Amino acid sequence: MIARKNPSTGKWDAQYSYTDWQGKRKKTTKRGFRTKREAVEWYDHFRATQDADFNMVFKDFIEIYMEDQSHRLRQHTMMNKRFLFDKHIIPYFGNKKVNAIKAPDIRAWQNKLMATGLKPTYLKTINNQLNAVFNYAMKYYDLKENPCRKAGSMGKSKAEEMHIWTREDFTQFLNAIIDKKPSYIAFEVLFWTGLRLGELLAMTPADIDFDKRTLRVNKSYQRLKGEDVVTPPKTPKSIRTISIPKFLAADLMDYINSNYGMEDSDRLFPYTKYFFEHELKRGIKLTGLHKIRVHDTRHSHAAHLIHMGASPLQIRDRLGHEDIKTTLNTYGHLYPNTDQKMAEQLESEYREEMR
């Protein structure tokens, strides 16, 4: 391999030879590396994985893909991937040769899954996993094409309707579960901060600055294979500091003081996801409110912020979204008549100047 700086782009190119899956020796160039080191590291990875042969069956290539991704993704993400592959993808494609899987095969698989009645968002997630494997094969193993691209996708990226509760709904819900203080305080935090459940479960007293009334979010909790696992949050942007209202700071301080002996490093809510799902169902049964998921408390917080007049950028930063597109794609429909309001403001300014 020869790494050279391209004078026209200022970036590094990696020139190398390899043997493709048909046994033919080829010479090519991988372009666009920011540094020579990146070019060398990419080639080292490529060379180390050249034992992959697309005459191998798909389930064996999945193992190569999973081993590589395990160094880059969180354990919880890898477990979800493994479940989807084992349940929905490997049973259909597992014994097929990678280079024999074509677009019609993908379409037939999609049709079979769609006939099962799975939710559109779940179908989309499954399809995305298969698409990711073929993209990986193209990028690192020079598979000629991704059959998923020709086949098209299935399902939908988001649900038809977002299930949220209003502030009045939450007040009713909280009053119904006030007999269990941990549940009451936890759901209060979820609604008034928009935290993910994993972020809430990782919270410690040290994360709260009661003088500034801020909450530092820098970790997430999961229960994996019977063990407590604390990891960094979902994305780098998820590490954030958010302000909390006075009443919530006061309730959190009272809660901490009522837990005698709680240390700064202790989890504020040493419970499981199942516990809060059970408490949510209990409150819904007691109040008759329409059903939502625990994660919908995050959507409810965003909807409340929009009702208050918060901008997409403010919501992005408070919720810890990696990209403003995520915020707009998720909550854009909750901004009604924005164009009409701008026109009304322009009309008001014009009339003010004409006076």
Does the reported pTM lie above 0.75?
no
| pLDDT at residue 329, as a whole number | 78
Quickly tell me which residue has 């008001």 as its tokens. 348
Say if residues 263 and 205 touch (Cβ distance below 8 Å). yes
Say if residues 282 and 290 touch (Cβ distance below 8 Å). no
Say if residues 140 and 45 touch (Cβ distance below 8 Å). yes
Is the pLDDT confidence value at 339 over 60? no
| pLDDT at residue 87, as a whole number | 94
Mean pLDDT, to the nearest integer, of 2-15? 88
Least confident residue range of 117-126, 227-236, 326-335: 326-335
267, two tokens: 């989890």
Confidence band, pLDDT 50/70/90 cuts, at residue 21:
low
Confidence band, pLDDT 50/70/90 cuts, at residue 24:
confident
The H-assigned helical ranges of 98-166 are: 103-114, 120-141, 147-151
Please give the angle made by the CA atoms of 210, 212 and 215, to the nearest 5 degrees.
70
Question: What value does the mean pLDDT of the chain take?
Answer: 87
Transcribe 17-75 into DSSP letters.
EEE-TTS-EEEEEEEEESSHHHHHHHHHHHHHTTT--TTSBHHHHHHHHHHHHTTTS-H
Q: Which residue in 2, 11, 136, 122 sits closest to 65, CA to CA? A: 136
| pLDDT at residue 22, as a whole number | 63
| pLDDT at residue 206, as a whole number | 96
Is the pLDDT confidence value at 126 over 80? yes
Q: pLDDT, tens digit, for every residue of 171-228? A: 999 999 999 999 999 999 999 999 999 999 999 999 999 999 999 999 999 887 778 8
- Beta strand extents in 137-281 (DSSP E only): 208-209, 214-217, 220-224, 227-231, 240-243
Least confident residue range of 102-116, 152-166, 281-295: 152-166
| pLDDT at residue 243, as a whole number | 95
Strand partners, 223: 228
Return the higher-pLDDT residue of 149 and 55.
Answer: 149
Confidence band, pLDDT 50/70/90 cuts, at residue 234:
confident
- The Cα 33–Cα 43 span in angstroms is 11
Is the pLDDT confidence value at 342 over 60? no
Mean pLDDT, to the nearest integer, of 5-20? 84
Transcribe 271-300 into DSSP letters.
--HHHHHHHHHHHHHHH-PPP--TTHHHHH
Percent of the chain at pLDDT above 90? Answer: 55
Q: pLDDT, tens digit, for every residue of 302-323? A: 999 988 888 889 999 999 988 8
Return the higher-pLDDT residue of 144 and 349.
Answer: 144
Is the pLDDT confidence value at 333 over 80? no
| pLDDT at residue 119, as a whole number | 86
Is the pLDDT confidence value at 238 over 70? yes
| pLDDT at residue 336, as a whole number | 59
Is the pLDDT confidence value at 103 over 90? yes
| pLDDT at residue 192, as a whole number | 96
Structural domains in the chain, CATH included, are: 1-34 (no CATH), 49-151 (1.10.150.130), 167-334 (1.10.443.10)
| pLDDT at residue 344, as a whole number | 66
Say if residues 32 and 9 touch (Cβ distance below 8 Å). yes
Mean pLDDT, to the nearest integer, of 137-158? 87
Say if residues 93 and 55 touch (Cβ distance below 8 Å). no
Strand partners, 17: 27
Computed from CA positions of residues 202, 199, 131, 139, in that sequence, does the dihedral angle turn out positive or negative?
negative
Q: pLDDT, tens digit, for every residue of 27-85? A: 888 888 889 988 888 887 676 555 556 778 899 899 999 999 988 888 888 888 999 99
| pLDDT at residue 4, as a whole number | 87
Q: What is the DSSP letter of 263?
A: -
Q: Which amino acid is at 287?
A: T
| pLDDT at residue 343, as a whole number | 65
- The Cα 267–Cα 203 span in angstroms is 6
